[in-house]
Chains A and B, each alone.
Chain A
Amino acid sequence: MPATLNTEPNIAAADDFYEALIETHRDLAPEQSGLVNAKLILLLANHIGDLDVLRQAMAHARAGIAPVGDGSAGVAGPPARAAPVGGPRKEAS
């Protein structure tokens, strides 16, 4: 049985946690906050360790948020099923 993400209350001092979280971002520009959040996610993810749990958390976080645009930034999609391409392409010799 894969472990399940705990979404029941689990932090005893919930308000203290929330305050500390916001405090962590004090006086930071949005870009800096972005970096702090990314580091925080990575640290916590490593602490959790269980990929099943992490995937559930990612799915919960993403649920209900519709993508904008067509996602053509080239990030999504499995490698083997897009348009035919030729490569490696030498552009100049």
Chain B
Amino acid sequence: MAGHASAADMIREATDANIDYQRLELAYARCADQDAAQPARHPVIVVGAGPVGLTMAIDLARQAIPVVVLDDDCRLSTGSRAICFAKRTLEIWDRLGVGQRMVDKGVSWSVGKVFFQDALVYAFNLLPEGGHHRPAFINLQQYYCEGYLYEAAAALPNVDLRWKSRVVALEHRAGHVELEVQTPEGAYRLHGEYVVACDGSRSPLRTMLGQEARGRTFHDRFLIADVRMSADFPAERWFWFDPPFHRNQSVLLHRQPDNVWRIDFQLGWNVDPDEEKKPSNVIPRIKALLGGDARFELEWVSVYTFACQRMERFRHGRVIFAGDAAHGVSPFGARGANSGVQDADNLGWKLGLVLAGKAPDRLLDSYGAEREFAADENILNSTRSTDFITPKSEVSRTFRDAVLKLAQDHPFARRLVNSGRLSVPATLSRSWLNTPDRDACAGAMTPGAPAADAPVRVDGCDAWFLQQLRGVFVVVVFSDDGSLASGTASALRKLAQQVIPIAAIVVVPPGAPQDAGTGGVVPEGGARGIAVVEDVQGLLARRYDACVGTCYLLRPDQHVCARWRAFDADAVIAALARATCNA
């Protein structure tokens, strides 16, 4: 897969740094399928080229699966929309070779400040410890995010992007799904073994299947304004409850690249959205925040209401829903696009194995179970934040204000302040793909947890642990300075040669001679050899509660599926079978 990283580098060099992704028009082109006598058949059709559909397409294509992507539009995101992309999302995009570009362009941040009326209540740091490759968050306009994903997808030979191609009908047939696609030159039919519906919050595919997303709509309106200005606020998330410049409501300020700032004003329910979005009404609100002589330009203004909702089931036969089509949250906590990208991350390897005939179709049911569980966690967090930010009753408002007042002096109350519980990935603790702990293990890396990062050295070069996990199953064995137990090296090599290969990583402590660490085992690269990584700061062992012999099995999406105190090839094989529904 190393070839893809260099492809991404090539795009970066070839790309004009000043592309206006908001205005980029993606040309409709006639394709051979439109002239085919019989509907052409494809293994996977992704509907929707938003952040989730594009991530999905890149993941599948990197597994050598040809993907057709259909989008009804010919433009990327209009307006910034999502701006906060979380550490876990960046790690997923790193795996797909597009993370670095996002981070290079984005504004990294991890500190948030909360104000009540005219006083700072407290500040929090979302990533207080060092030793992680990626920051807690970057802020990046959604059009850049989609632009970079689009370019990465377009550079892959087996991604077939079709713009101005609207799915207008869907039918389950034996062994495939038939789609009717409307284009500027008329309609055509297409068959997909699987269809991934990433068609957004109003998902037409959801409607076509007679499904709906259920939940709560919040009776509140938010003015979202992006302004361009030179300002020296730090790269932090600033949140005001009831500030003097916007009484009784909340305000959020965020920095984006290119001197663009996101300002969210809570408006309440009884306002006229058309009036509110007029510059003559927006500008005074912004001046009240920035000061009367602040100079700025309005980039984008919109008024939204938000809902927390989800489909009851994300899988419907051969149609699998991901992203906003499957679930929606209010934006406090930035859990929308971030959780959608995690959906794609979860589904990619499962579809890959099922299409290759290496796992039964049932593995796809685990996508639904795991991501419905994650969606519930996101909806719960986002609902709680919304209820705190926009209290729905007098007493709820009284408690909210009491918390904010107490928080100025009392640390306990700061824990109750909820201006958004920012996106962190779900630990899939209830997944049936996990092998429950048999040995006594502690720490956060429980079965179902997303793998933690740490600094490492590989072949004498500084690197990161998560970079060593390349979209395959990986067994990680912690060793001391000595060699692997006799037979372990050959057992690890055998694991790499199974139908579903398991790559091996041996972790040696700081300063251990790396080649001696495995008794002369030399990394061969790819899934076939045994990679040796030096735990330069000892953080890997700490974060994985590891001692000599501790062993982890990680999934292709970097979630832990099992762990033991000693390497046991049979236990690893059994855990792999369980994690792939082959048990």
Q: Mark out the residues of chain A between 34 and 71 whose CB falls within 8 Å of any chain B CB in the assembled complex.
A: 34-35, 38-39, 41-43, 46
Decide yes or no whether B380 CB sits under 8 A from chain A. Answer: yes
B306, B312, B398: residue with the most chain A Cβ atoms closer than 10 Å:
B398
Give the segment of B31-39, B95-103, B405-413 that binds chain A: B405-413
Q: Given known contacts A43-B406, A74-B392, is B305 in contact with A80 (CB within 8 Å)?
A: no
Bits for B386-424, please: 1 = Cβ < 8 Å to A, else 0. Answer: 010000110110110111011000101100100000000
Measured in the bound complex, the distance between the Cα atoms of B201 and A84 in whole Å is: 12
Q: CB-CB < 8 A to B202: which residues of A?
A: 86
Besides A79-B308, A85-B214, 12 new A-B residue pairs in contact (Cβ under 8 A), listed by A number: A35-B405, A38-B395, A38-B398, A38-B399, A39-B406, A79-B383, A80-B215, A80-B310, A85-B215, A85-B216, A91-B303, A92-B274
Decide yes or no whether A89 CB sits under 8 A from chain B. Answer: yes
Beta-carbon contact of B406 and A89 below 8 Å = no
Q: CB-CB < 8 A to A83: which residues of B?
A: 214
Q: Given known contacts A75-B393, A91-B221, A92-B277, is B214 in contact with A42 (CB within 8 Å)?
A: no
Beta-carbon contact of A73 and B392 below 8 Å = yes
Measured in the bound complex, the distance between the Cα atoms of B321 and A88 in whole Å is: 17
Q: Chain B: residues with CB nearer than 8 A to chain A? A: 78, 201-202, 212-219, 221, 273-274, 276-277, 302-310, 312, 328, 330-331, 376, 379-380, 383, 387, 392-393, 395-396, 398-399, 401-403, 405-406, 410, 412-413, 416
Beta-carbon contact of A79 and B380 below 8 Å = yes
Task: Name 16 interchain pairs, CB-CB below 8 A, sorted by A.
Answer: A34-B395, A46-B413, A74-B216, A74-B392, A79-B216, A80-B214, A82-B214, A85-B215, A88-B201, A88-B305, A88-B331, A89-B305, A90-B302, A90-B303, A91-B302, A93-B78
Q: CB-CB < 8 A to B305: which residues of A?
A: 87-89, 91
Beta-carbon contact of B328 and A88 below 8 Å = yes
Complex partner residue of A85 from B307, B331, B379, CB under 8 angstroms: B307
Q: CB-CB < 8 A to A39: which residues of B?
A: 402, 405-406
Decide yes or no whether A26 CB sits under 8 A from chain B. Answer: no
A34, A35, A43, A91: residue with the most chain B Cβ atoms closer than 10 Å:
A91
Q: CB-CB < 8 A to A81: which residues of B?
A: 214
In the complex, the chain A residue whose C-beta lies closest to that of B308 is: A79
Measured in the bound complex, the distance between the Cα atoms of B396 and A53 in whole Å is: 21
Q: CB-CB < 8 A to B303: which residues of A?
A: 90-92
Complex partner residue of A87 from B307, B376, B402, B405, CB under 8 angstroms: B307
In the complex, the chain B residue whose C-beta lies closest to that of A86 is: B202
Beta-carbon contact of B398 and A35 below 8 Å = yes
Q: CB-CB < 8 A to B307: which residues of A?
A: 85-89
Measured in the bound complex, the distance between the Cα atoms of B396 and A74 in whole Å is: 12
- How many A residues have CB within 8 A of the partner chain? 27
Complex partner residue of B215 from A75, A82, A91, CB under 8 angstroms: A82
Measured in the bound complex, the distance between the Cα atoms of B392 and A74 in whole Å is: 7
Beta-carbon contact of A74 and B273 below 8 Å = no
Q: Given known contacts A75-B392, A80-B310, A87-B217, is B304 in contact with A38 (CB within 8 Å)?
A: no
Q: CB-CB < 8 A to A74: which residues of B?
A: 216, 218-219, 392
Beta-carbon contact of B304 and A90 below 8 Å = yes
Beta-carbon contact of A93 and B302 below 8 Å = yes
Q: CB-CB < 8 A to A80: which residues of B?
A: 214-215, 309-310, 312, 376, 379
Beta-carbon contact of A79 and B401 below 8 Å = no
Q: CB-CB < 8 A to B401: which residues of A?
A: 35, 38
Beta-carbon contact of B215 and A79 below 8 Å = yes
Q: CB-CB < 8 A to A75: which residues of B?
A: 387, 392-393, 396
Beta-carbon contact of B399 and A87 below 8 Å = no
Q: CB-CB < 8 A to A41: which residues of B?
A: 399
In the complex, the chain A residue whose C-beta lies closest to that of B278 is: A92
Measured in the bound complex, the distance between the Cα atoms of B331 and A87 in whole Å is: 11
Measured in the bound complex, the distance between the Cα atoms of B400 and A38 in whole Å is: 9
In the complex, the chain B residue whose C-beta lies closest to that of A34 is: B398
Q: CB-CB < 8 A to A43: which residues of B?
A: 406, 410
Measured in the bound complex, the distance between the Cα atoms of B376 and A90 in whole Å is: 24
Measured in the bound complex, the distance between the Cα atoms of B219 and A89 in whole Å is: 12
Beta-carbon contact of B403 and A42 below 8 Å = yes
Measured in the bound complex, the distance between the Cα atoms of B327 and A85 in whole Å is: 11
Q: Given known contacts A82-B214, A92-B303, is B392 in contact with A87 (CB within 8 Å)?
A: no
Complex partner residue of B216 from A46, A82, A93, CB under 8 angstroms: A82
Q: CB-CB < 8 A to A77: which residues of B?
A: 216
Beta-carbon contact of A86 and B392 below 8 Å = no
Beta-carbon contact of B376 and A42 below 8 Å = no
Measured in the bound complex, the distance between the Cα atoms of B309 and A87 in whole Å is: 8
Measured in the bound complex, the distance between the Cα atoms of B413 and A26 in whole Å is: 25
In the complex, the chain A residue whose C-beta lies closest to that of B305 is: A89
Q: CB-CB < 8 A to B387: which residues of A?
A: 75
B243 → A minimal CB distance (Å): 19
Q: CB-CB < 8 A to B383: which residues of A?
A: 79
A42, A77, A82: residue with the most chain B Cβ atoms closer than 10 Å:
A42
Measured in the bound complex, the distance between the Cα atoms of B312 and A75 in whole Å is: 22
B219, B306, B399: residue with the most chain A Cβ atoms closer than 10 Å:
B399
